[in-house]
């Protein structure tokens, strides 16, 4: 419905840090159920905006509004950040334990989250017994265990090989189809953005303000062969051109 509150709204947000120019002002509205990529040069403020949306940082000026309560926000970092001594099940259950969810219910939801990322048979494995891709899947399961309305991902594919990152992207699309959370993810890879998102927000390299918004193909999950098709290539070219302009090379 047109009068529904957006999942996320940033209004005239400005972030100041000592010794550097401020980031912003940023105006950004993300409708409920959308998948948005934040794209920009290193240092443009992509991860900072994600932290603002998550509530881990407050703006110096402006307003950050989020429809989902804190316990319905899932956050996946660039590194898995798992407890090395704990099993995949215990790692996935962590946010539920912190919320005081009864153990039986927490175990059920952790098991379901691990199954949703294909790790139901590795629930007892510690991080040392998992590959890098599996560890990232446990990190994703940990975020999913809280049944988030808003899922935030900070360059989740950065340390993964091509095969693993593509498989994880398919996991995210399948999860979106099943659960319809709003997803916001940070990436510097235009191909990942064009494949995973339905809209890309390009940040200005100098100010961190929104330079352009690029609409991407909306059909999810992606059909077989999408990455090599004309529609994907056109989306990558549009996004690459916008990123070039935001970095100054297209001016």
pLDDT per residue over 43-74, tens digit each? 888 999 999 999 999 999 999 999 998 889 99
3-class SS of residue 247: coil
Cα–Cα distance, 35 to 43 (Å, whole number) = 22
Cα–Cα distance, 153 to 184 (Å, whole number) = 6
Q: What confidence score (pLDDT) does residue 153 get?
A: 93
Mean pLDDT of the chain: 89
Q: What confidence score (pLDDT) does residue 117 get?
A: 86
Decide which of 192 and 4 is more confident: 192
How is residue 208 written in tokens? 């961190």
Q: Examine the pLDDT at 209 and tell me if it is beyond 90.
A: yes
What is the percent of the chain with per-residue pLDDT over 70, rounded to a whole number? 97
Q: What confidence score (pLDDT) does residue 21 get?
A: 85
How is residue 60 written in tokens? 């110096």
Q: What domains can you pick out in the chain, each with its CATH number?
A: 8-68+149-246 (3.40.50.300), 87-148 (no CATH)
What is the model's pTM?
0.90
DSSP character at residue 13 = E
Q: Examine the pLDDT at 1 and tell me if it is beyond 50.
A: no
Q: Examine the pLDDT at 9 and tell me if it is beyond 90.
A: yes
Cα–Cα distance, 123 to 138 (Å, whole number) = 9
Chain segment 72-121, per-residue pLDDT in tens: 999 998 888 899 999 999 999 999 999 999 999 999 999 999 998 888 89
DSSP character at residue 131 = -
Rounded CA Rg of the chain:
18
Calculate mean pLDDT across residues 129-135.
90
């Amino acid at each position: 419905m047109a009068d529904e509150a957006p999942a996320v709204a940033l209004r005239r947000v400005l972030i100041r840090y000592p010794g550097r120019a401020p980031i912003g002002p940023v105006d950004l509205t993300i409708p409920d159920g959308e998948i948005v990529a934040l794209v920009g040069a290193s240092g443009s403020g992509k991860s900072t905006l994600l932290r603002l949306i998550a509530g881990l940082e407050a703006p110096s000026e402006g307003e950050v509004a989020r429809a989902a309560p804190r316990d319905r926000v899932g956050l996946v970092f660039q590194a898995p950040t798992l407890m090395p001594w704990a099993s995949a099940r215990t790692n996935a259950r962590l946010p539920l334990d912190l919320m005081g969810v009864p153990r039986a219910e927490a175990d059920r939801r952790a098991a379901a989250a691990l199954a949703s990322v294909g790790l139901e048979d590795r629930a007892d494995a510690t991080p040392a017994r998992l590959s890098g891709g599996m560890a990232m899947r446990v990190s994703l399961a940990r975020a999913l265990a809280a049944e988030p309305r808003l899922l935030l991902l900070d360059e989740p594919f950065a340390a993964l090989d091509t095969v693993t990152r593509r498989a994880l992207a398919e996991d995210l699309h399948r999860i979106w189809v099943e659960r319809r959370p709003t997803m916001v993810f940070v990436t510097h890879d235009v191909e990942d953005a064009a494949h995973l998102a339905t809209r890309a927000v390009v940040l200005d390299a100098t100010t961190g303000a929104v330079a352009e918004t690029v609409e991407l193909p909306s059909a999810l999950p992606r059909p077989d062969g999408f990455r090599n098709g004309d529609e994907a290539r056109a989306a990558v070219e549009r996004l690459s051109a916008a990123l070039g302009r935001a970095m100054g090379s297209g001016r």
